[in-house]
Structure 1
């Protein structure tokens, strides 16, 4: 991976301690001057979760603000977004109310995003909408947003289990909750995970965890993970792989799995920077920013201290950060006329490959349950790195 994306990720990690952070930090004034050309006549809006729900995309949005200055407008959606969808809609509309805003990027595109796009379309139809990591029905979000980015959840239904099998897994625990299982892609992936486990002789355990948007909030969900993993290992054994569908659960899951000597094939949003640094207490010194070998060595060393070598892995590309940065660069290319159509797969692959530092091929999504194929819904799948 090139220094660009690694530096982006590490700069974000340096910006705030990841452990125990449940409120967003104030956005600092941009350190860099905006581009000094005609491009400054337009703006791009970015909406993400707060640091408690989506550290990586929040920091990626801040980094885009730092890079492009006043060309970027930032918004967040509420932590309890299921009960506060009107706030999500209002925040998107507020960005669109600025006539200079020509594109809006939402990562993660939580429930309420489609309604927000509809509301904006009533006002104006010239805004390019990019939705990353959608939490709504794929047919619906694909019909509302111009471009949709998604990690290949269905491909993960096979790849996660194959990775767990390589680690020696005999059991696979899938933590989720009813709200996430109402998301079609997550439910389809769960079913594929179960089917792949059955085909490989691995015991699949469908475990229900508290919803972080519920009454107990993020702390309650995290505490449940810390307490339940030891119970599952005692019941099933250390040759059990664990997976959770929720971002805020990854840090406690890594901590507890490591302490119990179990297996952890990947996070919900795979990336070396998602959960690992906070869970392992890794601090990156200034002179090591951008040094991917150093970061991997630190993660590997921390895991090795507790005998976890070969039991933890992830993707080498921070996928949600890729969606934010790639979304901004794609929007700029469209607004500035480098591409003439709202959907340009070749240009998107070019931008993603440049950011990631290696060739990336995207596939389009076909909803097997409806038979609909979407040329604007792009799926991304990566190989693994094992610590």
Structure 2
């Protein structure tokens, strides 16, 4: 599946350092690199209502990481999925009387347009789940044959205890959550801990058997469709070397999604899914976490239709540290619009001189856990001081922060 056009990323003098970022699994800052090549898998959208500011915050976080890897001279391999078959999409189709495939195509295209407008570097492989049904079904069959997949009625579940007996993976390794917390989150985030017949209430669905009126695909395990976590496991394994350098997404994916994606990968390959599990914070609006279920969403496309410069949207997001939870307000956007105008006016004073001081400041700030607020503050100080920018400094802002002035 096509992604979107790649923005220009200027080459900068010298070489930046490989960043250190926070790893959820170890609760520590770690260097995010592997032998000159960095592989990253970022969980994509379920295309039934795209793209809100919470989505943008996640993809801009990992866009920043990719820009730093490129500045450090690494070969970057980036894969992202889109979950174009899932319960929320089918529910939206039923509620609106539309075909689920039509909604998925429409919303995926809108997502592409938003990402291009925000100057997000596209993945090398942008994969729809419906493109890889056969490999997913094969993986589920393999787990059944290994005794790690079991049936409840005609559905197939992942046996967490069996996986723990034959792999280094254990429930809670990636998240660090207590069992009580995991049970709560499973019920809130697409799990079914109350279902009778499961060996452990936390065991995750691998394959949903065909239901009347639902799409299904033929498979050795029986006609049906994939569970959520196995989709990302298989796509990552198909398109990246395992373990990937970074597995990324929003913090709401820590459990159960990334926890079980890691468990599935360990069971299928004997390897960990990732060296680092990195998560972006949640964005609130009107006092509550921005979510489709609550309907308190601010859409990138709506802001663009209202004439907001996408660079201001990007600045509004990058003004917050990627791991922090924060709230979108009219003031946040107004501040970003005003900042962009100050920076654009400052850029008109450009001088042709070799000046690397701001480049060094940006590299230093971003090296430490992608500290975009510190990088923005460094630019603000130079703008306030009235010191004219060099070509190198403007290129640095575009290459590292994605803001063309």
TM-score (norm 1): 0.24
Give the number of the structure whose residues are more often helix, by fraction.
1
User: Looking at CA atoms only, which structure, 1 or 2, has the larger radius of gyration?
Assistant: 2
